[in-house]
Amino acid sequence: MTTATTISDFAVQTTQSAPDRNLPQKAGVLLWRPMFAMALMGFVVAFALAVIRADMISSGDDPTQIAAYGQYVTAAMFFGFAAVFSAISFAITTILGQFRVGGGSVQEAAQETVKTLKMPTTAKAFIVLMAMGMMIILAPVVAHLVVGQAITDGRWTPSKIEQWTIWLEAARRIGLVIYLFAITLGLITIATVIRYQTVRIREIAASRTSG
């Protein structure tokens, strides 16, 4: 037996007019394009540095400089990853904001009480994990630049450099996993909002039919 989903199955807030985007959704509208542009810049810089490093290797240049450039390539590449994941996350919040404003506008145009879905737990977790993932990825990016400079200056032993490289790789992987979990929760939130708005539209249609 299938049980129909109703508005009572969702936590909603009631207003007389369509709500505006909330703060994360406003940030998403403003930031997804700049983040996408920064991602492209990071990947282009990483590619250029990798080409320079490959030329240095083929020319038999100073191994110290080659090792330093290896750190810089990784830093630029993961700056690009952090930026592109941010662009995706902000695009998700932009979509959610459009659903929020658009759904409220439809209800207002139908002269119905506007019922808006309260922020789901998945959306709250999405925001928290997105921030965590960004910080965990960007911290190794900065650290790689520090390690690269330390290699150039000859201040660190090879064993210390290798140790830090391994630690930073682990941190980057953890950051990527957290960011992917965040994006997954964002997509789940979109599905929840679509399900709620389907139920709300059906409820409005049923009230008009019965009236």
Domains of the chain, by residue range, sit at 7-35+85-210
Dump pLDDT digits (tens) for 105-157.
999 998 888 999 999 999 999 999 999 999 999 999 999 999 999 998 888 88
Question: Mean of the pLDDT values across residues 50-72?
Answer: 91
CA distances from 83 to 10, 93, 127 (A): 33, 15, 15
CB 186 within 8 A of CB 92: yes
What is the DSSP-derived secondary structure letter of residue 13? E
* Close Cβ partners of 50 (under 8 Å, ≥ 6 residues apart): 73
- What's the confidence (pLDDT) of residue 4? 59
Number of H helices, E strands in the chain: 4, 2
How do 12-15 and 114-117 pair as beta strands? antiparallel
Q: Is the pLDDT of residue 1 over 70?
A: no
d(CA 31, CA 57): 39
- Position 211 confidence tier, pLDDT thresholds 50, 70, 90: low
Q: Is the pLDDT of residue 93 over 70?
A: yes
* Close Cβ partners of 55 (under 8 Å, ≥ 6 residues apart): none
d(CA 108, CA 111): 5
Q: What's the token pair of residue 108?
A: 């207002």
- Position 61 confidence tier, pLDDT thresholds 50, 70, 90: confident
- Mean of the per-residue pLDDT values of the chain: 92
